[in-house]
């Protein structure tokens, strides 16, 4: 469950954003669309605690992100927020499985190896677990980052343009996968995109203007 209240943000002078209030509950999906320069990514970063709003607040369940210290916020984010980005980044020297396990270790201090394997299997990556991320296709990499985002069963799953670099078939596959997994793990899903293909799939939509 995520709710926001009156969040504003500005990059120095000139560009400032005022975002509408957002709510997404457990298992729900919310699509945020808007043209470029409307602050889609900024909003996503605010929701994920990567940026702090100038005013207003973000609540995940009952926790207010604005009262957390930097260190606590890092920890909270690792444990409760999963992030899938437009482009997938990995620790290049670790293999796929290690990358996913690393996310569990950073958040909880435990190596959830079995769970990571299960998740990767579910995402059809069973044969690629011991490859380096750079050896995978873009679509496969995207799926690995989804597995990584979900390994800690977060309360909030954020996706930034998860489909924009994929073809139609893969875009729908990823969209279904995200909403399906969000339901399975009881996670609130927020997708930020300008991809028109997704608009038919998600009834809950907010358009930034």
Specify the residue, 42 or 140, whose C-beta has the smaller distance to other proteins: 42
Which residue, 61 or 203, has its beta carbon nearer to other proteins?
A: 61
For residues 13 and 71, which CB has a smaller minimum distance to other proteins in the complex? 71
Indicate the DSSP class of residue 208: -
DSSP three-state, residue 150: helix
Per-position b or e across 92-117, b if 16+ CB within 10 A of its CB: eeebbbbbbbbbbeebeeeebeebbb
Binding of other proteins at residue 83 (CB under 8 A)?
Answer: yes
Other C-beta atoms closer than 10 Å to the C-beta of 192 total 26
Position 189 contacts other proteins (CB under 8 A): no
Residue 141 Cβ, how far from other proteins at the closest point, in Å? 12
| Residue 56 sits in the site that holds other proteins (CB under 8 A) | no
The Cα 123–Cα 146 span in angstroms is 9
Q: Does 51 sit near other proteins (CB under 8 A)?
A: yes
Is 71 among the residues that bind other proteins (CB under 8 A)? yes
1 interacts with other proteins by CB under 8 A: no
What does the alpha-carbon distance between residue 160 and residue 44 come to, in Å, rounded to a whole number?
Answer: 7
Piece of 57-65, 84-92, 171-179, 186-194 that binds other proteins (CB under 8 A)? 84-92
85 is an interface residue for other proteins by CB under 8 A: yes
Nearer to other proteins, 131 or 201 (CB): 131
Alpha carbon dihedral 79, 81, 86, 88, in 10-degree steps, equals 10
Of 65, 53, 59, 66, nearest to 16 by C-alpha is 53
Site residues for other proteins per CB under 8 A: 41-42, 45, 48, 50-51, 70-71, 74-75, 77-79, 83, 85-87, 89-94, 102-103, 105-107, 148, 160
């Amino acid at each position: 469950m995520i709710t926001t209240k009156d969040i504003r943000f500005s990059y120095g002078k000139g560009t400032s954003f005022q975002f509408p209030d957002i709510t997404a509950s457990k298992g729900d999906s919310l699509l945020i669309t808007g043209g470029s320069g409307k602050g889609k990514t900024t909003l996503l970063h605010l929701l994920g605690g990567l940026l702090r709003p100038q005013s207003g607040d973000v609540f995940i369940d009952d926790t207010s992100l604005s009262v957390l210290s930097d260190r606590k916020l890092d920890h909270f984010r690792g444990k409760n927020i999963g992030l899938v980005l437009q482009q997938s980044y990995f620790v290049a020297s670790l293999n796929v499985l290690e990358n996913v396990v690393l996310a569990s270790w950073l958040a909880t201090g435990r190596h959830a190896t079995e769970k990571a394997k299960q998740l990767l299997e579910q995402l059809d990556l069973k044969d690629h677990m011991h490859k380096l991320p750079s050896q995978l296709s873009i679509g496969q990499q995207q799926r690995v980052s989804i597995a990584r985002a979900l390994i800690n069963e977060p309360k909030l799953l954020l996706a930034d343009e998860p489909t924009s670099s994929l073809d139609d078939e893969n875009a729908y596959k990823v969209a279904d996968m995200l909403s399906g997994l969000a339901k399975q793990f009881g996670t609130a899903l927020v997708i930020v995109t300008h991809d028109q293909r997704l608009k038919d799939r998600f009834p809950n939509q907010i358009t930034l203007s």
